[in-house]
Structure 1
Amino acid sequence: MDVEVFAELLEPEGQALLAELREYDPAQELAAATRLRRDHPAPLVSAALGQARLRQRAAAKFGAADASRMYFTPNGVEQATRATVAAHRAARFRAAGATRLADLCGGIGGDALALARAGIDVLAVDRDPLTCAVARANAEALGLADRIEVRCADVADVDTSGCDAVFVDPARRGGAAGRRIFDPEAYSPPLSWAVAAARTAPVAAVKVAPGIPHEAVPADAEAEWVSDRGDVKEAALWFGTAPGAFTATLLPSGAALTGEGLLPEPPVRAPGRFLYEPDGAVIRAHLVAAVAEQLGGGLIDPTIAYVTADDARPTPYATAYALTDVLPFNLKRLKALLREREVGTLTVKKRGSAVEPEEVRRRVRPQGPNAATVFLTRVAGAPSMLLGRPADVSAAQAV
């Protein structure tokens, strides 16, 4: 789809097509395309069908209500920030006093929309004309055009001096296949440029890949890893907030754990009554030691991010399991134990094991009315199996 066809999609004929495809069914696309092309230009029908497909995909990120009114490009859906994460970041900018923000590499406007909803005026910049047209259409569709100015330009040519905040979201995929880029200096623009741009504002953030090495985090930045319902979604470098801090933020609760510098290694001990699985953001932020200290526990292995403790304590930063068995790794023994316990629903988790969960289920063939969780991992270096069940620690002694 080019800019001209997209412009036609915003006209009455295009809007009528989109309305007709509101209840889009992928299985009926060929029939719908054949029917619609009898009365409408083929390029416009193709564009409308493309938007219907993308809106369905985007519902997981933006929610069905917003996605059904927004416009997308394939790359825009793939690279846009999840709405919950964008809202969290916008709230941080607002709390830091931001009133006008330069959103560099703004894409289809996902972050700009969240910022505008938080009461911040946004200058959204992108160099792709179609992407900019989509961003403008999204601002109009959601009633936020009065707070969002979209400018089609190279971010390096934009004067941000009139803004008191900057957000940079460099492209981290490249090539025709859209493969992930792991070298921060191969981002577009490079991380070094993004950091320099961020340092020009009183408060700023640069979106980076969650796997960014800690040694690549500038000394004057706060590094924040954000998870949403247990899945790590992104990391960001913040400037003007808490230099040298490493933060794990968990959504939707908003719980945030912060540490500075390298924490002392937690003790390694034998498995106790409970096993705690830290949230991925906690692991990425290297804050497992802080969680272990809060829980009065230790690691089951110096290289494995599982915390064990004898007491049940509530924590937002880890999921608790009550252990029933700790065994050397042996699938035949596991199969016999599951049969004895009549376990038919088996959740397989692994950390530090090369065995795939599906292979375990295929070989043990769980059957019965009960449920259990097995952890394939190492205990003090030895391949092991830990069997247990989720523990409700909400009423336990507060941490």
Structure 2
Amino acid sequence: MDTAELRQLLTAEGLRLLDSLPPFDSKADMVSQVSALRKQGHSPELVSAVLTQARLRAKGVSKFGDFASRMLFTEAGLEQATRLPVASSHAGRFRRAGVSRVADLGCGIGGDALAFAALELDVVAVDRDEVTAAIASYNLAPWEGAEVRLGTAEEADLDGIDAVFLDPARRTSGHSSTSRLSDPADWSPSLDTAFGFAAKLPTGVKLGPGIDRDLLPDDAECQWISVDRSVVEVGVWFGALARPGIRRAALVLGADGPAELTAAGDSDDVDVNDLDEYVYEPDGGVIRARLIGDLARLLDASMISRDIAYLTSATAVETPFAQCFRVLETFPLDEKRLRQELKKRGIGRVEIKKRGVDVDPAAFRKKLQLSGANEATLILTRVAGRHTALLCERV
């Protein structure tokens, strides 16, 4: 979306037309939709803008729920935006720290700023891109305490600000087809600049979950967050925003609500023992936070092999921090043998999980030549150092 397209969209005509469109259907004939809107006298630019927004609103439901139907997006802005449940977690942290006025530096389309404002925090949202800042202004318009400014994090006026939140841009500039920047010095702001705000004010920095842990400061709380088993970020919290005595945390957000493991640092692994009746796959947030040992002690479980993030136990315990599987049989990790065993059992559908083995699950599934009405889970891993296939069922 360019500036001219946005200007047309932000007119009374453009917004009325957008809100009048039926829910976006990816299977609909786009050519006929364009033709119908053009026959109504709308310009090609406006038709393109409203249909793009209708598509992005439908896509945005997965992150923003019902709010998406009243928001505007760019392709890149939606991709990089914080999911609303995660943004709400951020906002709650600022609220509990007694913060009244937050600067959201690099606000994007305003996802986190929206959560701040919804909790009645005053928020100054800053973005360097004119189109993105305009869209953030639209999305934050319902909240009187929200203000959007065009500018950079480095030059932001922090007078009267109680705390700072940053989500450094880790992709090239633009509204679509951006590419990832691997060097933290190239981010906007750079990682050093983002962490540097902590010397002035309580600061939170949102980063990708796979960041090199050596880049994370020792004097901050680092909280990995997963949503529906997918790890989406690590939040680095300084000053009053960091909880006393906590340096590592794994927050799991799922259908049953939030659950969290916390510790003063990386936890020590437990011993390796023989494979037992049940295998646990820790949530990715627990793995990233290196709290597998604490989880194992919570479950009275052992490692199945050194440096492999699977646990084993004689009992099945319900936990939000791991998925549990009953081990039915074990086999050597041999394609021909597994093909025969699965055929013998009439297993035509398998979920394949793997750790510690060099296997492409999709390619491996094809080689198994599956047929039959039954289903199972195959865990391909190392058990006591040996390549092994575990035939399992979910508990």
TM range (shorter): over 0.9
- Cα RMSD (Å) of the superposition? 1.7
Mean CA deviation greater in 279-288 or 374-383: 374-383
TM-score, reference length from structure 2: 0.93
Q: 2:48 aligns with which of 46, 49, 56?
A: 46
Counterpart amino acid of residue 151 in structure 2: A
Name the SS of the counterpart of 1:305 in structure 2. Answer: coil
Mean CA deviation greater in 35-44 or 149-158: 35-44
Q: CA deviation at 1:5?
A: 3.3
Gaps of 5+ in 1: 392-399
Q: Hey, what's the Cα distance between the residues in 2 that align with 1:385 and 1:32? A: 51
Q: Hey, what's the Cα distance between the residues in 1 that align with 2:217 and 2:210? A: 15
Q: Hey, what's the Cα distance between the residues in 2 that align with 1:222 and 1:379? A: 34
Aligned counterpart, 1:55: 57
Runs of 4+ in structure 1 displaced over 6 angstroms? Answer: none
TM-score, reference length from structure 1: 0.92
Q: CA deviation at 1:4?
A: 4.1
Aligned counterpart, 1:237: 236
Q: Is the 8 A contact 1:104 1:126 kept in 2?
A: yes
Aligned counterpart, 2:183: 183
Q: CA deviation at 1:284?
A: 0.5
Please tell me whether residue 96 in structure 1 is matched to residue 97 in structure 2: yes
Aligned counterpart, 2:330: 326
Counterpart amino acid of residue 50 in structure 1: T
Q: Hey, what's the Cα distance between the residues in 2 that align with 1:24 and 1:279? A: 34
Q: Hey, what's the Cα distance between the residues in 2 that align with 1:198 and 1:9? A: 39
Please list, as runs of the form range in 1=range in 2, the aligned pairs for 1:384-399 lying within 5 A after superposition: 384-391=388-395
Q: Hey, what's the Cα distance between the residues in 1 that align with 2:19 and 2:120? A: 30
Aligned counterpart, 2:197: 197
Q: Hey, what's the Cα distance between the residues in 2 that align with 1:96 and 1:116? A: 16
Q: Is the 8 A contact 2:105 2:152 kept in 1?
A: no
Q: Is the 8 A contact 2:170 2:181 kept in 1?
A: yes
Gaps of 5+ in 2: none
Q: 1:275 aligns with which of 272, 279, 294?
A: 279
Please tell me whether residue 343 in structure 1 is matched to residue 344 in structure 2: no
Aligned counterpart, 2:78: 77
Q: Is the 8 A contact 1:123 1:149 kept in 2?
A: yes
Q: Hey, what's the Cα distance between the residues in 2 that align with 1:363 and 1:62? A: 40
Q: Hey, what's the Cα distance between the residues in 2 that align with 1:246 and 1:23? A: 42
Aligned counterpart, 1:396: none
Q: CA deviation at 1:100?
A: 1.0
Q: CA deviation at 1:369?
A: 3.0
Q: Is the 8 A contact 1:219 1:244 kept in 2?
A: no
Q: Is the 8 A contact 1:199 1:239 kept in 2?
A: no
Q: Hey, what's the Cα distance between the residues in 1 that align with 2:292 and 2:25? A: 45
Aligned counterpart, 1:11: 11
Q: Is the 8 A contact 1:168 1:198 kept in 2?
A: no
Mean CA deviation greater in 354-363 or 173-182: 173-182
Q: Hey, what's the Cα distance between the residues in 1 that align with 2:266 and 2:369? A: 43
Counterpart amino acid of residue 213 in structure 1: D
After superposition, give the CA deviation of every residue in 1:65-122 in whole Å (9 maximum; x if it has no partner).
2112110111111111111211111112212222111000001101111111122111
Please tell me whether residue 112 in structure 1 is matched to residue 110 in structure 2: no
Aligned counterpart, 2:378: 374
Q: Hey, what's the Cα distance between the residues in 1 that align with 2:345 and 2:199? A: 59
Q: How many residues align?
A: 386
Aligned counterpart, 1:397: none
Q: Hey, what's the Cα distance between the residues in 2 that align with 1:263 and 1:5? A: 52
Please tell me whether residue 359 in structure 1 is matched to residue 363 in structure 2: yes
Q: CA deviation at 1:341?
A: 2.5
Name the SS of the counterpart of 1:271 in structure 2. Answer: coil
Q: Hey, what's the Cα distance between the residues in 2 that align with 1:60 and 1:53? A: 13
Name the SS of the counterpart of 1:179 in structure 2. Answer: coil
Name the SS of the counterpart of 1:68 in structure 2. Answer: helix
